[in-house]
Homo-oligomer: A and B are copies of this chain.
Amino acid sequence: MFTNEEKEAIYKVIFTRRDVRSFLPDPVPEEAVKRIIKAAHHAPSVGFMQPWNFILIESEEIKDRLAWAAEKERRALAIHYEDDGRSTKFLDLKIEGLKEAPLTICVTCDPSRGGSHVLGRNSIPETDMMSTACAIQNMWLASCAEGLAMGWVSFYKKSDVRDILEIPPHIDPVALLSIGYTDVYPKNPILETAKWRKREELDRLLFHNKWSL
């Protein structure tokens, strides 16, 4: 059971966690990294398959190569926004974040873990990836609790990241996470502040007993 104070702390981290892309060079304490990864490993997973691995990247050379892969994809993506009118300058910031953050963690998903017939995944195959996303959310909340900032980079070609990190072809590099301290922890989602998109009204996302629009 949880006390009111504990409950408040849990909602506080859920509501204040933000995607961050500006980092200080100060190193991330090893003990904090251990706790963040342990939080990930205690995420739920379908059939208890625990499909995740974590590649901790501190090598400047490898971080530069990852930033190169993301930068290439950023330029390719920007072409689709040429006629959009909304600024895409935060795409650049994100790549700066990859270079700035002292630690990058590549989180992978192994769809073969647990054998050919994972309970639950046999019905809904993407539950392996969803389990991995639950692990990432735990890492995000744990980072925030540790006073650390985290950013999720999700634009790159997986084949580039596989090449750079020597990841086998059947393993899915689903996220590049930048972790470090920051002096600008955002109060609101950056894409909201940049007027890219508003937060949806929650009431309009809620239905009772059946879908109804």
Contacts and interface: CB of A to CB of B under 8 A. Distances in A.
B56 A44 contact: no
Interface in A36-70: 37-39, 41-44, 46-50, 52-59, 62
Copy number in the complex reads 2
Interface residues of A, number: 100
B166 A46 contact: no
Contact of A154 (B62, B123, B144, B192): B123
Contact of A197 (B114, B127, B196): B114
A184 interface: no
Nearest to A212: B166
A28 to B, nearest CB: 14
A206 B138 contact: no
Contact of A123 (B7, B117, B155, B205): B155
Contact of A208 (B56, B168, B192): B56
Interface string A115-149: 00101111110110111111011101110111100
A209 B132 CA distance: 20
B7 A145 contact: yes
Given A146-B7, A191-B48, A157 B123 contact: yes
Contacts of A44: 17, 19, 137, 140, 152
Interface in A62-92: 62, 73, 77, 80-81, 84, 88, 91
A5 B13 CA distance: 13
